[in-house]
A = this chain, B = another copy of it.
Amino acid sequence: MLTEAARVFLQRLERFGTLGAADKQALQVLVQHPAVHEAKTDVFHEGDERRELHIVLSGFFCRYRLLADGSRQILAILLPGDLCDPNLFSKQPYDFSVGALVLGRTAALSRLPLHDLFRRPGVARAFASTRHFDDALSREWLVNIGRRSSEQRILRLFSELTWRLEALGLLTGNVVTLPLLQADLADAVGLTHVHLCRTLKQLQTGGLIRPERGRIVLHDVAGLRKAVGVWPSYLAGLISVAPPPQAPEAPRRQLASAVEPLPI
């Protein structure tokens, strides 16, 4: 019999491929110590020693860092099944914090047995895929914050979340509600909450989203994804949906030629 925690964990690991029965058996016994976290409380905090590996069971969590002047940068939004710490085997104290954005639950598993479990090819592959997905998202975020307008940043974040929720089976139909505060969104996309509010209002007139108190309703997921345009590369292997036709690749030899519009 599978606890709910083990089920969420294994489902996540199997998202990109399948695990053998023995793999699953070995993994599920690790999942322990369920815990409830109120919104705005930390699972662990920057500077803490790395002990158990926490995984999200329900709710929305985030990795974040606080700066000396009190501002916060959210590094990633964590959904059910996600690992709070991308670095399974690091011995360093955490250099970031993880906190709950809304009421949610986590489980914890000890890291030590993982070392041995990595001998199993299926287990290693599953963690590697999860890891790659996590990394691809963080690259996406860096590009987003570094080079895109406030509207684009927000739309892309929403789009990302719709894909991830869909992969979890938490998106049915064309509507979804994100239980996120505007202040949280602002810290995720690198804006102030005031400007984020204004931009949301503008987007609202576009008809794709509706801000409500304490949440954002995306009432046209398909339209939102279309507005963002691309099939994000981080989805590779995540969702078994045929990608739409892609624009041709940029020429590859010289950076310069790749930056400029195609010649002729």
By a beta-carbon cutoff of 8 Å, the part of chain A in contact with chain B is 40-42, 45-47, 65-68, 70-73, 75, 86-90, 92-93, 95-96, 99, 115, 118-119, 124-125, 128-129, 131-132, 135-136, 138-139, 141-143, 145-148, 189-190, 233-234, 236-237, 247, 249-250, 252-256, 258-261
Contacts and interface: CB of A to CB of B under 8 A. Distances in A.
Contact of A252 (B42, B75, B190): B42
A70 B259 contact: yes
Contact of A253 (B41, B146, B253): B41
Contacts of A145: 142, 145-146, 190
A72 B259 contact: yes
Contact of A96 (B96, B131, B139): B139
A233 to B, nearest CB: 4
Nearest to A132: B90
Contacts of A72: 147, 255, 259
A189 B256 CA distance: 19
B254 A41 contact: yes
A228 to B, nearest CB: 11
A67 B129 CA distance: 25
A99 B254 CA distance: 9
A201 to B, nearest CB: 22
A89 B42 contact: no
A99 B66 contact: no
Contact of A67 (B42, B132, B139, B147): B147
A138 B143 CA distance: 12
B190 A70 contact: no
A91 B131 CA distance: 12
A142 B143 contact: no
A67, A135, A247, A253 pick with most chain B CB within 10 angstroms: A135
Nearest to A260: B70
A255 B143 CA distance: 27
A131 B135 CA distance: 11
Contacts of A119: 119
Nearest to A44: B252
B142 A138 contact: yes
Contact of A143 (B67, B118, B129, B258): B67
